[in-house]
Amino acid sequence: MEEARPEVDEVRAVARGIATAVAPDGGLTEVQASLLRAVTLGVTGDELDYHDLEPLEAEELKQVLAGRGDEYCRRIVHHMVLGELVLSPLPAEVANRVAATARVLGVDDDFVALARRYAEGALGLAWCDLRRSGFADHWDESTTDPLHTKAEYADPFDAGMVEPELAEKWRRFAHLPTGTLGRGVWEMYSTRGFDIPGTPGGAAPYLAQHDFVHVLADYGTTVEGEVETFSLIGRADPDPKGFAWLATVIGLFETGYVHQQGALEMDLTTRNRLQQPGMTNRLADAIRRGKVAAEGHGIDLLAVDYHEISDQPITDLRAELHIVPKSPECFDSPGLFEPAGMSPNQRKAQRSVVSRETIIQR
């Protein structure tokens, strides 16, 4: 049963409780305040200044949430964890305060323990915990069927294997009509010079699933676009384990808590992405879009069999999966095929493709 939308007084009280839990000495940082403001706006429609909130202790917050269900309270705790994960270093007192607040609210959640690992500096153990609780424990035959792989992967983050049959399935996308999902993902790969799954250097089938979401959500493939894509995917999962994607992208792209692990390895010349103008709004809007998908469709987007629907128009699939348009406030979120939605190396690869096609046409 869907929870009723909170009134503004409840939204403000919850925001006070979150801010009290995650504030380090000296108060919320600018990136914390900006991120939490944007998330609140994205999921409730209410605008709050997190720098202008009176404290609200855990017991008081418990009373505010007395009429709410367990999952609702868990989502609130996840917003606390998100607010603390952008701190680097993460003060132990903040991690302990969030953990204590979660206990008062009756929320027993692995991601609270994850943040405490980060605060202790146990980054390797934290990454193992994150993979187990967010991904590996949910990795079984039912999750591998939509991937169309015959290879045996012990872990969803294993590197991709050479599979000629899988590669051939991806090549067939090139012959689908323009505007279909399969053709869109093929154009995404070909214009950027990406190796397709099943070929040497190709993405593992599990992570390749998110590329279909890039097409459906119209997010670029820059670091910022990856943050948006995985934020949408994480919130679209009706299982709270989807928060693992938010924890991963923040750790990988913002704070360095996750350091180029396995298949997530990429060139990260700078971090602190959320401090870039408009980026917290973009992340929050991705969460908003994921929330709409979760409420309307209710299936983990990485568990969808995209091969089976690859010949369908992208516009139809957006409606079916409840992937709504970006907010007008996110005008600085470039589309998948816009130049700003590609990294410099990807734009270079695109120019090479265009040059080759021009030569062939002549």
Q: Which residue has the higher pLDDT, 19 or 246?
A: 19
255 falls in which pLDDT band (50, 70, 90)?
A: confident
Share of the chain above pLDDT 90, in %: 65
* Structural domain boundaries in the chain: 8-121, 141-361
Dihedral of CA atoms 252, 253, 255, 260 in degrees, nearest 10, equals 30
Euclidean distance between CA atoms 298 and 305, whole angstroms: 15
Q: pLDDT tens, 258-292?
A: 765 544 554 445 566 788 888 989 998 999 999 99
131 falls in which pLDDT band (50, 70, 90)?
A: confident
pLDDT at 13 over 70: yes
With tokens 């979401």, the residue in question is 213
Q: What is the pLDDT of residue 149?
A: 94
pLDDT at 107 over 90: yes
360 falls in which pLDDT band (50, 70, 90)?
A: very low
The encoded tokens of residue 96 equal 């302990």
Q: What is the pLDDT of residue 263?
A: 47
Q: What is the pLDDT of residue 124?
A: 81
How many residues are present in the chain?
362
From the list 67, 59, 68, the residue with the least C-alpha distance to 21 is: 59
pLDDT at 76 over 90: yes
The stretch 41-52 carries a mean pLDDT of 91
From the list 304, 208, 290, the residue with the least C-alpha distance to 246 is: 290
257 falls in which pLDDT band (50, 70, 90)?
A: confident
3-state secondary structure the chain: CCCCCCCHHHHHHHHHHHHHHHCCCCCCCHHHHHHHHHHHHHHHCCCCCHHHCCCCCHHHHHHHCCCCCHHHHHHHHHHHHHHHHCCCCCCHHHHHHHHHHHHHCCCCCHHHHHHHHHHHCCHHHHHHHHHHHHCHHHCCHHHHHHHCCCCCCCCCCCCCCCCHHHHHHHHHHHHCCCCEHHHHHHHHHHHHCCCCCCCCCCCCHHHHHHHHHHHHHCCCCCHHHHHHHHHHHHHHCCCHHHHHHHHHHHHHHHHCCCCCCHHHCCCCCCCCHHHCCCHHHHHHHHHHHHHHHHHHCCCCHHHCCCCCCCCCEHHHHHHHHCCCCCCHHHCCCCCCCCHHHCCHHHHHHHHHHHHHHHHHHC
- In single-letter form, the type of residue at position 24 comes to P
The encoded tokens of residue 152 equal 């045996």
Euclidean distance between CA atoms 284 and 224, whole angstroms: 12
pTM for this predicted structure: 0.88
Euclidean distance between CA atoms 146 and 161, whole angstroms: 17
Mean pLDDT of the chain: 89
Q: Which residue has the higher pLDDT, 261 or 164?
A: 164
The stretch 68-77 carries a mean pLDDT of 94
